[in-house]
Amino acid sequence: MRRTVTILGATGSIGRSTRAVIAENPERLQVAALVAGRDAAGLARVARETGACFAAIADEAQREDLAAALAGSGIRHGAGREAVLEAATLDSDIVVSAISGAAGLEATFAALRRGRVVALANKESLVCAGAAVMARALEAGVRVLPLDSEHNALFQVLGAEPVSAIRSMTLTASGGPFRTWPAERIASATPEQALAHPNYAMGAKITIDSASMMNKGLELIEAAFLFGLGPEQLDVLVHPQQIVHGLVTFRDGSVSAGMAVPDMRVAAAHCLGIDGRLDAPANRFLDLVGAGPLAFERPDLARFPALGLAIAALAEGGAAPAVLNAANEVAVEAFLARRIGFSAIPALVEAVSAQAASAPLPAPADVAEALAIDHDARRRARMLLSQGRFTVT
At 26 the pLDDT is 95
Q: What is the pLDDT of residue 101?
A: 65
Q: Which residues contact 321 (CB under 8 A, 6 or more apart)?
A: 127, 128, 130, 221, 310, 313, 314
Could you state, in chain order, the average pLDDT of each consecutive group of 10 residues for the chain (393 residues)?
A: 95 94 96 96 97 96 96 96 95 93 84 95 90 94 95 95 96 95 96 87 86 96 96 97 97 97 95 93 93 95 98 97 96 96 97 94 94 96 90 54
β-bridge partners, 241: none
Task: Spell out the alpha helix ranges (H) of the chain.
Answer: 13-24, 40-50, 63-69, 81-89, 104-113, 123-140, 149-158, 183-187, 191-194, 204-212, 214-227, 264-272, 288-291, 305-316, 320-336, 344-357, 367-386
- The torsion of the CA quartet 331, 337, 343, 347, rounded to 10 degrees, works out to -30
DSSP 8-state code for residue 252 = T
Query: 271 with 145: CB under 8 angstroms?
Result: yes
The pTM for the full model equals: 0.93
| Domains in the chain with CATH codes | 3-147 (3.40.50.720), 153-261+288-309 (no CATH), 317-393 (1.10.1740.10)
Q: Is 335 helix (H, G, I), strand (E, B) or coil?
A: helix
Q: What is the sign of the dihedral through the CA atoms of 270, 272, 274 and 279?
A: negative
CB-based contacts of 224: which residues, under 8 Å, 6+ apart? 130, 230, 231, 234, 314
Residue 36 neighbours by CB under 8 Å, 6+ apart? 9, 10, 11, 12, 15, 42, 43, 46, 55, 56, 57, 58
